[in-house]
Amino acid sequence: MNMREYLFNMPAESIISVVAKKENSNDHETIFVIKEGKYNLKRIGKAPKVNIRGGIVQGEDAAALVVMFNFNDLEFKYDSWFNYYTMYGRKAVTKLAEQESILFECIDISGKTVNQFRISNTISSLAQNYIDICNNYNPWEAHSFYALKMIMFDECNYSEDALWDELSEQKSI
């Protein structure tokens, strides 16, 4: 399945991070693709106010970087989790630590790009901190990462608002 097919099959009201080639460059960057219905895409707008919260969740066997976004102080929030010990996760976090800005691509339910906007990268130091923390762990298996993620969701009663409130920078569970 190619990326366009994946985005087409992705559910609405979701976000995914993608390592993509920069326009007019051979370099790559981590971008965030938001898939929404027409109504919510209008509410997000062309140049929204972006609120970002991030945190590092550390467990005994694994660590996770979670980044959440909220646009125009609307009620919905998007969470993106990074697992350093996957091939994709390592590349995505490394790029996120290096890049000066973050590109968002908003797509509609058919997968068509409706809007793109760029903001200053205020989470680069958090991404670098996550890399440094991960280097103190032995490589973990995917199930350890997902168990950590589920513990965090359980602590937040599976509420995006509660997860948003929990994020500060670093949390050990």
Q: What is the pLDDT of residue 21?
A: 87
Q: List, for residues 30-62, the tens digit of each pLDDT value.
A: 999 999 999 999 999 999 999 999 999 999 999
For the chain, give every domain's residue range. Answer: 3-168
pLDDT for residue 170 is more than 50: no
Q: What is the DSSP string of 70-131?
A: EETT-S-EEEEEE-TTSHHHHHHHHHHHH-SEEEEEEE-TTS-EEEEEEEE-S-HHHHHHHH
pLDDT for residue 5 is more than 90: no
Cα separations in angstroms, 101 against 18, 68, 80, 139: 14, 16, 17, 29
Who wins on pLDDT, 120 or 165? Answer: 120
**Other CB atoms closer than 10 Å to residue 142's CB: what's the count?**
12
Residues in contact with 127: Cβ distance below 8 Å, sequence separation at least 6, in sequence order:
65, 82, 93, 94, 96, 97
Confidence at 1, pLDDT banded by 50, 70, 90: low
147, 128 in Cβ contact below 8 A?
Answer: no
Q: What is the pLDDT of residue 8?
A: 72
Who wins on pLDDT, 12 or 147? Answer: 147
Place of tokens 């660590």: 63
Q: Mean pLDDT check: name the lowest of 15-24, 90-99, 157-166.
A: 157-166
Residues in contact with 111: Cβ distance below 8 Å, sequence separation at least 6, in sequence order:
4, 7, 8, 10, 35
Q: List, for residues 78-134, the tens digit of each pLDDT value.
A: 999 999 999 899 999 999 999 999 999 999 998 899 999 999 999 999 999 999 999
The pTM score is 0.89
